[in-house]
């Protein structure tokens, strides 16, 4: 039997929630007999909730069992040394048909003091937002623990909260310690540190499915809360088709957005990590290690760390989140990797009509992929000079691609360093 590593798909884990809805069913998932699905766990290494591999000779094994066998070949040598057999990320699709509890997650230090493995830092990428949908993202103004406790005891904690009104395509980074909550009418992807630790501080006096009020953790939460205000919780980024755009980076995960309308080739030879592609819109396919796997919205593929090259395809158009654990983030926390271009995407093809796959099915993709070959240093954009305005030519400073930020510009279109996005951290 061939035991060579290959890209992996996973069986989804469905979670019935008191606030859950049925939008996940519209993505093509069947969670019967559950009455709703508040959370779909697309990839998880959480103990007791490990994702089961759905394809290949490792089928029916969990992701953690695969890591135990293949170690650094699967997740990256440094990642394996650092995280062991635990997959460091958890990826979910969340359907909030009602308000979630107002909550906070501890950081690593506090979690481990209390006997837990990890704290919890996370990010949200909004897939759908109904008109008027809101999220809670920290406090509106700075306050003291005593002021917070007084408002909580009086049932007035909602008066303290900073409210955002998200739209599809928005991204919010939620560090450990920030009070937060999803509002009604949101469908989103969540990428987070591997942890299932949540402290509920307020739940609107709402009963669960058994008619009981859900447990609150007001005392435990107090030491976890960051009481600083949130001025602009939304992360600002420049949207570019067929480009890789950084959404978030932290010691636990790095997440990029790739809006695809044509095939793309990526080089990960400089990255010591697995890579996960989560489809957040449309239908796409991931080809690597002589295997091609289709995915639709809500599905993901894990590319093993031994894969140096990945090719991405789409039917018409698609959007992918590209997620990995960059060892540079936890070996040198002071370094920003916002403009690293070591594994920048290269276009595939020579502007043939086949580059645009609107009329093609997934079954055609493998044949098309096999026809493309790299030709010298050409990026596929058909401009001979460095002024082509694409994202490949970085020898000159005037290429117009938006990557040369001499004044510290992060790509969020704010000239100053106080724009409120998560890139300008002192």
pLDDT (mean) for 285-299: 97
pLDDT (mean) for 361-385: 41
Least confident of 78-87, 156-165, 360-369: 360-369
| Distance, C-alpha 31 to centroid of its chain | 23
pLDDT for the residue numbered 213: 86
The per-residue pLDDT for range 203-214, each reduced to its tens digit, is: 988 887 788 888
pLDDT (mean) for 372-379: 36
Task: Enter the tokens of residue 328.
Answer: 């540079």
200 is catalytic: yes
Least confident of 38-42, 134-138, 250-254, 379-383: 379-383
Diameter of the chain measured on Cα atoms: 69
44 has pLDDT over 80: yes
- Given pLDDT bands bounded at 50, 70 and 90, which one contains residue 407? very low
User: In degrees, to the nearest 5, what angle opens at C-alpha 63 toward C-alphas 60 and 64?
Assistant: 120
pLDDT for the residue numbered 1: 60
Task: With H, G, I as helix, E, B as strand and everything else as coil, classify residue 166.
Answer: coil
Does this model's pTM top 0.85? My answer is no
pLDDT for the residue numbered 196: 84
Domain 10-233 and domain 245-371, same fold? Reply is yes
The per-residue pLDDT for range 90-122, each reduced to its tens digit, is: 999 999 999 999 999 999 999 999 988 889 999
pLDDT for the residue numbered 61: 97
Q: Tell me which CATH code domain 245-371 carries.
A: 2.60.120.10
47 has pLDDT over 70: yes
The per-residue pLDDT for range 382-399, each reduced to its tens digit, is: 333 333 333 333 333 333
Q: Tell me which CATH code domain 10-233 carries.
A: 2.60.120.10
pLDDT for the residue numbered 379: 37
The domains of the chain are located at 10-233, 245-371
287 has pLDDT over 70: yes
User: What are the start-end ranges of the E strands in 63-214?
Assistant: 89-96, 102-104, 122-129, 135-139, 161-164, 171-174, 180-182, 186-193, 199-202
The DSSP bridge partners found for residue 188 are 94, 126
Q: Which residue is catalytic, options 200, 246, 265, 346? A: 200
CA distance 109 to 129: 34
């Amino acid at each position: 039997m061939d035991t060579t590593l290959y890209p992996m798909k996973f069986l989804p884990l469905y979670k019935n929630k008191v606030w859950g809805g049925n939008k996940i069913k519209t993505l093509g998932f069947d969670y019967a007999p559950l009455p709703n699905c508040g959370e779909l766990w697309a990839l998880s290494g959480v103990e007791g909730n490990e994702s089961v591999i759905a394809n290949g000779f490792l089928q029916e094994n969990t992701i953690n069992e695969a890591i135990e066998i293949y170690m650094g070949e699967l997740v990256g040598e440094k990642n394996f040394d650092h995280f062991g057999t635990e997959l460091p990320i958890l990826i979910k699709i969340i359907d909030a048909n009602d308000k979630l509890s107002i909550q906070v997650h501890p950081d690593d230090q506090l979690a481990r003091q209390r006997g837990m493995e990890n704290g919890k830092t996370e990010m949200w990428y909004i897939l759908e937002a109904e008109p008027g949908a809101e999220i809670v993202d920290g406090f509106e103004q700075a306050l003291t623990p005593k002021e917070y406790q007084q408002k909580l005891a009086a049932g007035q904690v909602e008066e303290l909260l900073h409210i955002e009104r998200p739209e599809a395509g928005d991204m919010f980074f939620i560090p450990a310690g920030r009070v937060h909550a999803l509002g009604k009418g949101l469908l989103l992807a969540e990428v987070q540190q591997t942890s299932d630790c949540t402290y509920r501080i307020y739940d609107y006096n709402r009963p669960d499915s058994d008619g009981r009020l859900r447990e609150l953790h007001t005392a435990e939460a107090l030491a976890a809360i960051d009481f600083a205000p949130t001025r602009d919780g939304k992360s600002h980024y420049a949207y570019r088709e067929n480009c890789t755009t950084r959404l978030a980076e932290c010691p636990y995960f790095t997440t990029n957005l790739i809006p695809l309308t044509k095939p793309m080739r990526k080089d990960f030879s400089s990255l010591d990590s697995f890579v996960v592609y989560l489809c957040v819109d449309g239908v796409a396919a991931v080809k690597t290690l002589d295997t091609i796997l289709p995915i639709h919205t809500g599905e993901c593929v894990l590319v093993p760390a031994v894969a140096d090259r990945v090719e991405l395809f789409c039917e018409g158009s698609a959007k992918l989140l590209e997620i990995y654990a960059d060892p540079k983030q936890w070996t040198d926390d002071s370094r920003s990797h916002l403009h690293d271009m070591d594994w920048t995407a290269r276009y595939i093809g020579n502007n043939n009509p086949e580059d645009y796959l609107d009329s093609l099915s997934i079954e055609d993709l493998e044949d098309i992929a096999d026809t493309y070959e790299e030709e010298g240093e050409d990026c596929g954009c058909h401009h001979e000079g460095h002024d082509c305005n694409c994202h490949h030519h970085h020898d000159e400073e005037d290429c117009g691609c938006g990557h040369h930020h001499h004044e510290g510009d992060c790509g969020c279109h704010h000239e100053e360093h106080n724009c409120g996005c998560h890139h300008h951290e002192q």
